[in-house]
Amino acid sequence: MKLLRVGAVGHEKPAILDPDYNIRDLSQVIADINPALLAQDFADLRNIDIEQLPILSPHERIAPCVAGVGKFICIGLNYSDHAKESNTAIPNEPIIFNKWTSAISGANDQILLPRNSVKTDWEVELGIVIGREGRYICEKEALDYVAGYCVINDISEREYQLERGGSWDKGKGCDSFGPLGPWLVTKDEVPDPQQLELWLEVDGQRYQQGNTKNMIFSVVQIISYLSQFMSLQPGDIIATGTPAGVGMGQQPPKFLQHGQVVRLGIEGLGVQQQQVVESAS
């Protein structure tokens, strides 16, 4: 299933894509695409006749694909080519940081440049959506805890992240820095999360082109590792790292400017597109 949420901020409703990619209204079937739905493994959706659901306008806003996210956990430097362009050693263990849930936005919502930002950057990433609570998860059972996958743009203000003291979190959690979606694709439609092409373009120029097979730490390793330090719960989101081609790694470095358009996608998981704007407040 390809699940999504549509509508203006504060008025989102759940939806599903039919085989022809029409957006079908799920609001009479479920309350939302939220931790409660994920925890019961989409039971309310298993036997519905999608063709009987109302078709929604394709022009509605695509909201974040999951509501009620509890934790937004990120893995840093998880592709060797990105570590190299960052002049950083390949990590021996996953590097963990967080985005605040207030950073979450829709797949096509605007990227808001923080006030006085000079180094806002892009990062296409595979997102894991957790569907089952667990601690101390072994790798062979890790995928049992996955509800599905989505596209994430791990937008990052590099000056805040690297030059202002403190942890990476400072440059990772600004408002609009966590677009999720367009869809939550259930794990049965992604037989191997380590064989997905991912890419990103700015103003039509491709900067990132990679494959999840090149992750240093795989999806199952990440889930198992994180669960040693915290419980994972339905609705938690994990961003799994980005391949080479970020703005910071260009020669000379390039960073996002007002008016630019970022477009990114992952094989089978959909495409995002965001326009960059100066924050109004």
Which helix (H) or strand (E) segment holds residue 208: the answer is: strand 205-211
172-199 burial string, b = 16+ CB within 10 Å, else e?
A: bbbebbbbbbbbbbbbeebeebeebebb
Q: Looking at the whole model, is its pTM more than 0.85?
A: yes
Cα separation, 110 vs 218, in Å, equals: 30
Respond yes or no on whether the N-terminal peptide bond of residue 182 is cis (omega within 30° of 0).
Answer: yes
Would you say 203 and 258 are in contact if contact means Cβ atoms under 8 Å apart? no
Distance CA 227, CA 99 (A): 18
Residue 167's pLDDT is 81
DSSP 215: B
Contact 45, 148 (CB under 8 A): no
**Please, are residues 104 and 80 in contact by the beta-carbon 8 Å criterion?**
no
pLDDT at 46: 86
Segments making up each domain of the chain, as ranges: 65-278
CATH 3.90.850.10 for domain 65-278: yes
User: For each successive 10 residues of the chain (281 residues), what is the average pLDDT?
Assistant: 97 97 97 96 92 95 98 94 81 95 98 95 98 98 98 96 86 96 98 97 98 97 98 98 95 96 98 92 63
Cα Dmax for the chain: 55
> d(Cα 219, Cα 122) in Å, to the nearest integer?
21
The DSSP code for 33 is: S
